[in-house]
Amino acid sequence: YEDNEEVVLWMNTVGPYHNRQETYAYFSLPFCAGTKETISHYHETLSEALQGVELEFSGLEIEFKGGESMTVPYDTGVGIADISTTPYCEIQLTEEKQKAFTYAVKNHYWYQMYLDDLPVWGIVGETEEGDGTPSYYIWTHKKFDIGYNTKQIVDVNLTSENKVKLTVGAKIPFTYEVNWKKSNVKYEDRFDKYLDPNFFQHRFNQASVYSLGLMQLSVTVKACP
């Protein structure tokens, strides 16, 4: 990549974490996409080559080591905080959409994305128990920490933030931020971290979940001549 060159984020599937075989297209849930409609170049991703799947463009604008975010206030649930963030879409939560998201949260749905062939996983939302009546929330902010070594992407992590209660009639904005960090990881070693079970457990505890089996397959394929 050159500085400020387009980096494409692809959306893949969503489904219950405890049943990996049950998957649906990411946008089968009433998520909204970003405003960017076209990409400057397209190449088949590793996931498409392995699984024969067709990924969907996220519509999020990401530039290699570039792109400025704006600082806006949002409700964290315990107060208002300022973060460097970019709003990209908003949904009106109709009864139908509320039911769809609630079902996904109840069933521990997680979703998968790809950025420069690196898979990224996150969960849709979480349940809070209170006075015997559960409340359901979805995460509306995606924080991407992307590591780079010279002109190559070698690491990507997602942190889901800003949970919003699923209430019929609510307007829910979705935002994202991208943080670029220099890394000493070599491009050919960029899948290695996923083979550490402790890493996966750590990410799971931070509301991010990963599929070790798929990563092992991916690394094996990458290593083949």
What's the confidence (pLDDT) of residue 13?
94
Residues 120, 114: Cα–Cα separation, whole Å: 6
What phi and psi values does residue 193 have, to the nearest 5 degrees? -60, -30
Task: Write down the pLDDT at residue 52.
Answer: 52
Torsion of CA 11, 18, 160, 113, to 10 degrees: -20
Does the pLDDT at position 17 exceed 80?
Answer: yes
Helices of type H across 86-156: 95-106
Average pLDDT over residues 31-47: 77
- Cα 54 to Cα 12, 50, 91, 123: the distances in Å are 8, 11, 25, 21
Structure pTM?
A: 0.79
Give the CA dihedral 45, 63, 199, 210, nearest 10 degrees.
-40
pLDDT tens for each residue of 115-171: 999 999 999 999 998 788 899 999 999 999 999 999 999 999 999 999 999 999 999
Q: Among 138-142, 164-168, 188-192, 216-220, which is the least confidently predicted range? A: 216-220
Q: What pLDDT does 42 receive?
A: 59
What are the structural domain ranges in the chain?
6-223
- Of residues 206 and 126, more confidence is placed in 126
Residue with tokens 């998201």: 101
Measure the N-to-C terminal CA separation of the chain; round to a whole number of Å: 23
* pLDDT the model gives residue 70: 44
Cβ atoms of 179 and 153 closer than 8 Å: no
Q: State the amino acid at position 141 in one-letter form.
A: H
